[in-house]
Amino acid sequence: MLNNFKIDNETKSGQCKKGILNYFVANGNSTIQELAKEVNLSVPTVTKALGELLNVGYINEYGKQETGEGRHPTLYGLNPDSGYFVGVEIKEGFVNLGMINFRGDLVDIENDKPCRIDNTMESIEELCELVKQFIDKSGVNKDKVLNVLFSIAGRVNAKSGYSHTIYNFTEQPLTTLFSEKLNYPTSIENDTRAYAFGEYMVGNVNGERDVLFVNASWGLGLGIIINGELYTGRSGFAGEIGHMHLYNNEILCHCGKKGCLETEASGRALYRIVKERIKAGESSSLTQTKGNDFTLEDIIDAVNAEDPLCIDVVERIGYAIGETVANLINVFNPELVVIGGILARTGIFLQQAVNASVRKYTLNLVNKDTRLCLSKLNERGGIIGACLLARKIVLG
Ligand SMILES: [Zn+2]
């Protein structure tokens, strides 16, 4: 029964049940009286819906509320084992896999699983095999896996189920293909939006409803949350700040255009500039420890080990990111801007450069409204966000 998680959205009773489940997601265990007030329905209506949710196993009783004196109303909350959600984060040459239970607790996580990632059916098959193995290994009842969400870089239309940057060769929606191969309901989302949702739900967002999330990884993406909801744009392509044309630098971007922000402000840019400057004769501890064969992760480690060249390049990139964040603050007037992605692992080195640039280029009054911080979840944000988004899609 549980894998056919369908609480219809059409009837009042279905909407009431979804409202109750979403209230538990946001607030934890509650009494009937609290629920009735929050979902704006009568106590008898809520009592009936709760009874049905108890019967199908989605919620449990959690004892009595300690109220000091008088009656002690019963507390209800989500049954963590009534459903599971899987997130699959597709990176370059590897994937990260995660699973949460119905309450949102992380059940299992596997990072950096090597996987052929290219635009072929073989790649999709290898990816699906890894997902199957991950679910098998977790030992959960497979009938209770309610959704598998794939987090994919580039242009992703979550509504239509098509990915347009990778896996764009299939006639049918990618989600249909994934569901056929896996035998689970599946969904897809842009990687930065999934990461932004993770940060919103369990990261460095503390009640703010208008949030911008800058994903400074190999590329540079923006997750936009307006009044607590992810903003996708018409077709799911919103937030492509990395491809804003900002420079006349003659550097070709991987998107095919030139002079994109990403060519000067991203992990890819960090890697290129450090390589160029070392080649031009500048010294760095990197070449002593790694020779010329270093990775982006090595550069991040070198920054944190206080290598002057790598710090200098990260500061320059932070300043460029800050210029764009300042423009975004002027446009959106957000409560909070979170900077995440691999570059955020350089901590204060990146943040101070972003702060300096934001202070310089924002309108003073607008800037005063906005808190700026680094991601709390760091590289786990993407996979946690994918799992939580899978649950949101099911709960509606
Ligand atoms: Zn570009």
Q: Are 12-81 and 83-196+382-395 equal in CATH topology?
A: no
Q: d(Cα 240, Cα 257) in Å, to the nearest integer? A: 13
Please choose, from the candidates 345, 363, 362, 248, the residue with its C-alpha nearest in 3D space to the C-alpha of residue 299: 345
Q: Can you read off the two tokens belonging to residue 217?
A: 């990884």
Between the CA of 261 and the centroid of ligand 1 the distance, in Å, is: 7
What is the band of 157 on the pLDDT scale with cuts at 50, 70, 90? very high
Q: Is residue 74 a contact partner of residue 31, using CB atoms and an 8 Å limit?
A: yes
Q: How far apart are CA 14 and CA 395, in angstroms?
A: 11
In the reported structure, the alpha carbon of residue 245 is separated from the centroid of ligand 1 by a whole-number distance in angstroms of 8
Domain residue ranges in the chain: 12-81, 83-196+382-395, 207-375
Local confidence band at 7 (pLDDT 50, 70, 90 cut-offs):
low
pLDDT digits over 97-109, tens only?
999 999 999 999 9
Residue 370 has pLDDT above 70, yes or no: yes
What's residue 366's pLDDT?
Answer: 78
Q: How far is the CA of 216 from the centre of ligand 1 (A)?
A: 14
Interval between CA 80 and ligand 1 midpoint (Å):
42
H/E stretch holding 311: helix 308-332
What is the fold of 207-375? Nucleotidyltransferase; domain 5 (3.30.420)
Residue 266 gets which letter from DSSP? S
**Distance (Å) from CA 164 to ligand 1 centroid:** 15
CA of 59 to the centre of ligand 1 (A): 47
CA 136 to chain centre: 24
Q: Residue 96: pLDDT band by 50, 70, 90 thresholds?
A: very high
Q: 251 CA to middle of ligand 1, Å?
A: 10
**In this predicted structure, what is the pLDDT of residue 3?**
42
Q: Is the pLDDT of residue 50 over 80?
A: yes
CATH H-level, domain 83-196+382-395: superfamily: ATPase, nucleotide binding domain (3.30.420.40)
Q: Which residues lie closer than 8 Å to 27 by C-beta, 6 or more apart? A: 38
How many A from CA of 260 to the centre of ligand 1? Answer: 5
- Confidence at residue 292, expressed as pLDDT on a 0 to 100 scale: 84
pLDDT-derived band at 331 (thresholds 50, 70, 90) equals very high
pLDDT at 371: 94
Average per-residue pLDDT in the chain? 93
**High-pLDDT (> 70) share of the chain, %:** 97
Query: What CATH class does 12-81 carry?
Result: mainly alpha
pLDDT for residue 6: 63
Q: What is the helix (H) or strand (E) element at residue 147, kind and residue range?
A: strand 145-152
In angstroms, what is the span from residue 227 Cα to ligand 1's centroid? 29
Contact between 376 and 206 (Cβ < 8 Å): no
154 CA → ligand 1 middle, Å: 11
